[in-house]
């Protein structure tokens, strides 16, 4: 078992200064995580030694590149508990993965008047694709409300299921509130009502063990850059029997088996949904990130984040006029969003940056959720496997300084 300090030594960026004499305090991992040497060096080796396009060539570099790309798919399938590598589709990010389901499955199988259930805490990535589909096809969108305790109202959810929805799509963990939703129970109830399910796993897969077969989820989307991997690579998991029935999302090279002038035959899974030259180095880098996380252990990652988050909630509650949005630590991941009375969140973030403290300010791509609480924005501190209690203390000291500045 590695210590936090041993883990931190593997992240070069955590040892830089953002300006002379000001070390970086990185508390923005919900936006993107930092990358360990293992990932950086793996991608560098690919470009130095085996860079070639995949699946089409028979020369040595092409075969090595193809093998490394598909090996990464195997690692990811194992990491999330997929039954087959055919169920792992590489996309650019969570957003594209959800759009793939909306454009391919939604446009083929949904009819005017069909119901989709979402929640009030969704990231725009799991709102806008369904809003576009609704405007095109007359789909009805219904929403599970967020209660005053920042948890979903599951009694309302059960009543909404009486509408016999075709799909229930929800975030596994809120990127604003940190709320970890009871995904397994929600999926079971949806299936009992005859609905398929989609999980936005952008904030869950990087932070605790997620097994798609145990959850019995139909689709799940997540991004590489939030789990120690590179940007530009994400994953859509889908049950094979569903993916087989869905038409291709994009047309072009590699997603075809045969092309005539007026027709084509799509490729088999997973290639049917991976048109054109993919993000090869990024997929291989994501495979290295999965290796890194498994070496540390996802149970350790979760326990460490829970400890840091509980400490953060305790320390931040000491600051006068600071309001935290989110449930208590028992229902929460490593995210603390807050407002300070009389200080705009952007001012909070900008002043903290003077002390090297990187936090996020804004609506965090969840405008409807902020509107529900009648606030334009929040400041968000988010933690990961390399976060330390000392950094929480520095955050608190920075916030106390802001109180002094604004009186």
Catalytic site residues?
365
Beta carbons of 256 and 263 less than 8 angstroms apart? no
Beta carbons of 200 and 98 less than 8 angstroms apart? yes
Alpha carbons 28 and 26: distance in angstroms, whole number: 6
Classify each residue of 336-364 as buried b or exposed e, where b means 16 or more C-beta atoms within 10 Å of its C-beta: bbbbbeebebebbbebbbeebbbbbbbbb
Q: What Å distances lie between residue 234 and 200, 269, 274, 317, 343, CA to CA?
A: 12, 17, 12, 36, 36
Backbone dihedral angles phi then psi of residue 256, each to the nearest 5 degrees: -120, 150
Beta carbons of 97 and 234 less than 8 angstroms apart? yes
Q: What angle do CA 337, 141, 133 make, to 5 degrees?
A: 100
What are the residues facing 325 on neighbouring strands?
337
Residues 6+ apart with CB under 8 A from 16: 23, 24
Pairing of strands 22-23, 88-91: unpaired
Residues 6+ apart with CB under 8 A from 24: 13, 14, 16, 17, 18, 356, 358
Coil, strand or helix: which one is 317?
coil
Give yes or no for a cis peptide into 60 (omega within 30° of 0). no
Coil, strand or helix: which one is 116?
strand
Alpha carbons 140 and 159: distance in angstroms, whole number: 15
Beta carbons of 175 and 364 less than 8 angstroms apart? yes
């Amino acid at each position: 078992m590695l210590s936090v300090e041993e883990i931190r030594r593997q992240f070069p960026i955590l040892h830089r200064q953002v300006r002379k004499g000001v070390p970086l305090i990185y508390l923005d991992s919900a936006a993107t995580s930092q990358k360990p040497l293992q990932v950086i060096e793996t991608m560098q080796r690919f470009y130095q030694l085996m860079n070639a396009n995949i699946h089409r060539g028979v020369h040595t570099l092409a075969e090595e590149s193809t093998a490394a790309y598909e090996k990464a798919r195997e690692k990811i399938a194992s990491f999330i508990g997929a039954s087959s590598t055919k169920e792992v589709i590489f996309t650019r990010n969570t957003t594209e993965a959800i759009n793939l389901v909306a454009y391919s499955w939604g446009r083929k199988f949904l009819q005017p008047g069909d119901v989709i259930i979402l929640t009030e805490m969704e990231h725009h990535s799991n709102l806008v694709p369904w809003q576009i589909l609704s405007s095109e096809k007359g789909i009805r969108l219904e929403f599970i409300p967020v209660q005053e305790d920042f948890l979903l109202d599951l009694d309302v959810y059960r009543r909404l299921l009486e509408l016999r929805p075709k799909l229930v799509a929800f975030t596994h963990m809120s990127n604003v509130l940190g709320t970890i939703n009871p995904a397994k129970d929600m999926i079971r109830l949806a299936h009992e009502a005859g609905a398929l399910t989609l999980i936005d796993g952008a904030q869950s897969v990087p932070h605790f063990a997620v097994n798609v077969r145990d959850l019995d989820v139909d689709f799940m989307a997540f991004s590489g850059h939030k789990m120690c991997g590179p940007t530009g690579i994400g994953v859509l998991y889908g049950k094979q029997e569903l993916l087989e029935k869905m038409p291709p999302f994009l047309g072009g090279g590699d997603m075809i088996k045969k092309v005539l002038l007026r027709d084509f035959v799509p490729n088999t899974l997973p290639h049917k949904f991976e048109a054109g030259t993919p993000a090869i180095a990024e997929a291989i880098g994501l495979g290295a990130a999965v290796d890194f996380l498994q070496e540390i252990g996802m149970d350790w990652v979760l326990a460490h984040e829970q400890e840091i988050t509980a400490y953060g909630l305790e320390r931040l509650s000491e600051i006068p006029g600071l309001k935290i949005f989110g449930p208590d630590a028992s229902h929460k991941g490593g995210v603390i969003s807050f407002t300070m009375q009389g200080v705009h969140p952007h001012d909070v973030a900008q002043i903290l940056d003077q002390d090297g403290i990187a936090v996020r300010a804004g609506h965090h791509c969840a405008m409807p959720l902020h509107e529900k609480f009648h606030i334009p924005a929040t400041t968000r501190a988010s933690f990961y496997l390399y976060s330390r209690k000392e950094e929480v203390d520095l955050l608190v000291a920075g916030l106390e300084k802001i109180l002094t500045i604004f009186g």
